[in-house]
A and B are shown apart, each in its own frame.
Chain A
Amino acid sequence: MADPPPYPDAGDGTDLELGCGSITGAPRWVKVLGIIAAVLVLLIVIMVLTELLTGQGPARHMFGGLGGQTPPSSGALFSGVGGHMPLAGGHAP
């Protein structure tokens, strides 16, 4: 295996001291991070689906969870908060 090339900016007085490492496939830390991210995304999807299907669940984070209230369709409600207006026509995602 060829020696890993030095980091591109090494030696110019900055904090770059590690080599580039493996040249065959993704390193183990990338795979581990990817698996953790995939599991978290899966959990979030399950939470959101649970909320959508049952109307309850740990992800009931918006308007269904606010006492059944719906977001305003105009900016009137937001006039007391620095004139903040909803980003997309006044409707929540």
Chain B
Amino acid sequence: MTMTPRLRKLALTAHVVSSVGWLGAVAASLALAVAGLISQDAPMVRASYIAMNAIGEVVLVPLALASLVTGLVQALGTTWGLLRHYWILIKLLINVFATIVLLLYMQILGYLAGLAAQTASPGADLGVLRNGSPVAHAGAALLLLLVATTLSVYKPRGMTRYGQRKPQPQPAR
């Protein structure tokens, strides 16, 4: 089943917006994670973890899910297919993996944000709060999403065995 060109462009726009938005939100989270790790300013450290959690809940998770869904629509609704080309297959794996890790990690971010709210009292030990994990996770996510974006732009050659076996459907007119 293929979409009409107009619908296809709409779906493509939604996919690009959600995917690039996800990338940008991860970059913002990485900046906050670094600030939370190295800043000497106690309110800044606490605010970083609370903001990271808010960004995660309100921006990262919705955009990750939107990117996944619109990517599936884009692949299955066009003659590209989901499993025919390596670059699409690898993007799918990256998207699913990053989304699962994000959903699991939101629990940890929520815990850190709660801890940051609890340590708001003067003299609280920020060493308990400082944590390199958000930096590592946001950095890895940024790397993965950059790989996915690069694959989308370059569309490197290569068809899977499935793609070679299946006859190529005719594009929609």
Using CB atoms and an 8 Å cutoff, list the residues of chain A in contact with chain B. 4-5, 7-9, 12-14, 16, 18-23, 26-27, 29-30, 33, 59, 61-63, 65-67, 69, 71-72, 77-78, 80-82, 84-88, 92-93
Contact = CB atoms under 8 A, between A and B. Distances in A.
Interface string B115-138: 101100000010111011100110
What's the dominant secondary structure at chain B's contact region? Answer: helix
Given A77-B114, A88-B107, A92-B107, A30 B171 contact: no
A80 B168 contact: no
A43 to B, nearest CB: 11
A81 B157 contact: no
Contacts of B78: 8-9
B155 A30 contact: no
A86 B139 CA distance: 23
Contact of A69 (B50, B103, B128, B164): B128
A33 B115 CA distance: 38
Contacts of B106: 87
B135 to A, nearest CB: 10
Interface in B1-40: 5, 9, 12
A33 B90 contact: yes
Nearest to B78: A9
B114 A80 contact: yes
A80 B15 CA distance: 34
Given A9-B80, A92-B111, A93-B107, A82 B156 contact: no
B171 A12 contact: yes
A20 B80 contact: no
A69 to B, nearest CB: 7
B114 A23 contact: no
Given A8-B171, A23-B164, A61-B131, A18 B155 contact: yes
Given A66-B128, A81-B113, A86 B107 contact: yes
